[in-house]
Chains A and B, each alone.
Chain A
Amino acid sequence: MTSAADLSPSYDLVVIGGGPAGLAAASLAARVGLSTVLFDENPGVGGQIYRGITSTPIKNGTVLGEEYWAGGALASEAKVSGAAIVTGATVWTLDPSLAVGVSIAGKARLIQARRVIIATGALERPFPIPGWTLPGVMTAGAAQTTLKAQGLVPDGRTVLAGCGPLLWLLAAQLLRAGVKIEAMLDTASRRNWLRALPHLPDFLLSPYWRKGLALLREVKAKVPVIAVDRLSAAGDGKLKEVVYGTGGTEHRLAADLLLLHHGVVPNVNLANATGAAHRWNERQLCFEPVLDDDFTSSVPGIAVAGDGAGIAGGTAAAERGRIAAIAAVRALKPEASVPDPQVVRQKLAREEMGRAFLDILYRPADSFRRPEGDTVVCRCEEVTARQVRAMADTGCEGPNQMKAFLRSGMGPCQGRLCGLTVTELIAEQRGLSPAEVGYYRLRPPVKPITLAELASLPIGEAERKAVER
């Protein structure tokens, strides 16, 4: 295992995140001779989509599906590319001078990069329903993670709720692994179909529609799918019941595990903390970095590839990683031979086709994004929707003032689980658009580090020399 002391003081390219975008980028750059390091905070590479790809105990290929196993090639390619692949490595700061702060096993280093590719991917959109903080309520992604990486599956009465392709995929994977699902509570608005219809032709040309339809059929054959427009988790200290309804009806379903999901959004924390410009994407209902054709951000030398650049899925992420890496190679080693970026861009365009249809079809309903009353919005500091709305009414104009007034977004997750909700709530109360309200200004360390880790950072020439090998 690589330790902090094993790292060089500087690299041509630092890639942050070992999902498809990061793996593809690091492989391409290292193969043509850029000194390249890839940091990932998880115990292994693969990101979320290929989680546990090099170590999964799931040997039956059909459970996770062929798309999952495609990740193996990316991982092996990266392994032999010459890039240093460092797992268990948490990047906690990146500044505009391209200094990268990283912690490995409790020891910190500052590494100087000539180019940086942020490939920190996506996270699941906050799903703030009453009771979502109860033990027994998790994200669908969490269940998929334990399935892939540990071969661990839900036991007991399991309910899935929400909308989006990943929820259906998870349902199918769990069914194939022999898990019984009590119900699938579908929160997508029926009206989305009409709005999505104009984008159907594109979707029919994409690689996804056949697979998507097959998934839907596979799940619907075994699980009752119930359309809902209200949803909450109830229990005292842990989940006991899922409460749902449409119109005037209300049903209670005894449950041990509720898995929530309504789409994924870019994990913007690191890019935001570097000062890179971001903008609101109204179709995907999230903030995303402002990028050029090579995925370079507004901060020179820093690119954002993969789903962190806007949601497009795993295969598109790899192509984006390659495009960003080609730009880095062209800047640092123009004589090296790289693939024609136009060819990669065409592949990417094909992968991105049909995205609009899915985005609109699975657009989460307003009521599930903008909670009311005592529903917790900020899980870390336990700030409720009522508090945020009331503070917006009394004049609080933006998320950064909200931080100061209510401490929302001030806990260890640094707004990852409340940022979008707080922005949308302020926008609704003040009659503004989320673009006008803006997002939290994020501060490093983007992941908490202990005082001891920070104190371990080599400073001064003598200390730095002592750790350089």
Chain B
Amino acid sequence: MFKRLHDTATVTITVDGQPVRARIGDTVAAALLAAGIDHCRTTPVTGAPRAPYCLMGVCFDCLVTIDGVGNRQGCLVPVREGMAVATQIGKREAGR
């Protein structure tokens, strides 16, 4: 869906355990889009897949689990080397 105008990816994060290259200055949501992910979560109501929608902190469709904490807005969190991102399935969050 998206490509980088400049190939400047310099850090590595993991997405569901797989390494993904990202650029310092990426948010998690941007890194996921650049990596070509299909979706970043499924909804807690019907299980429908969702991907980032607004990228400005208002829609909450880019919710992902970051370093073990669920329900984080991927579009507001900058990537860091070694960051572990996980697709959020349905109601996942408590006790994780």
Contact = CB atoms under 8 A, between A and B. Distances in A.
A116 interface: no
Contact of A380 (B1, B23, B60): B60
Interface in B11-50: 23, 25-27, 30, 33-34, 38-39, 43, 45-46, 48-50
A256 B1 CA distance: 6
Contacts of B46: 382
A379 interface: yes
B1 A142 contact: no
Contacts of A138: 51-55
Contacts of A256: 1
A177 B5 contact: yes
A239 B53 CA distance: 13
Nearest to A55: B25
Nearest to B27: A43
Count class of interface residues, chain A: 35 or more
Interface in B72-96: 75-78
A400 interface: no
Interface in A28-73: 41-43, 48, 52, 55, 57-58
A135 B50 contact: yes
A139 B54 contact: yes
B7 to A, nearest CB: 10
A450 B39 CA distance: 23
Interface stretch (A221-229, A307-315, A323-331, A411-419): A411-419
Contact of B6 (A151, A155, A379, A413): A151
Nearest to B5: A151
Contacts of A42: 57, 76
Given A42-B76, A55-B25, A142-B56, A382 B49 contact: no
Nearest to A381: B45
A15 interface: no
Contact of A237 (B1, B38, B60): B38
A448 interface: yes
B26 A123 contact: no
A277 interface: no
B37 to A, nearest CB: 9
A123 B1 contact: no
B76 A43 contact: yes
Nearest to A150: B30
Contacts of B48: 133, 382
Contacts of A152: 2-5, 30, 33-34
Contacts of B63: 412
Nearest to A376: B48
A412 B71 contact: yes
Contact of A141 (B5, B27, B45, B54): B54
Given A138-B54, A238-B39, A256-B1, A379 B8 contact: no
A258 B48 CA distance: 18
A41 B57 contact: yes
B50 A154 contact: no
B6 to A, nearest CB: 5
B96 to A, nearest CB: 12
A124 interface: yes
B54 A142 contact: yes
A194 B1 CA distance: 38
A153 B2 contact: yes
Interface centre among B30, B60, B71, B77 (most CB of A within 10 A): B60
Interface string A370-385: 0000000001111000
A48 B57 CA distance: 11
Nearest to B3: A155
Contacts of B45: 381-382
Given A155-B2, A257-B1, A150 B25 contact: yes
A137 interface: yes
A86 to B, nearest CB: 14
23 contacts: A41-B57, A52-B25, A58-B5, A137-B53, A141-B54, A141-B56, A142-B54, A145-B55, A146-B30, A146-B33, A150-B26, A152-B2, A152-B3, A152-B5, A152-B30, A154-B1, A155-B1, A178-B5, A238-B49, A379-B59, A380-B60, A382-B43, A416-B58
Given A149-B30, A413-B59, 16 more contacts: A41-B57, A42-B76, A57-B8, A133-B61, A135-B39, A139-B54, A150-B4, A150-B26, A150-B30, A151-B8, A152-B4, A379-B61, A413-B60, A416-B58, A416-B59, A450-B71
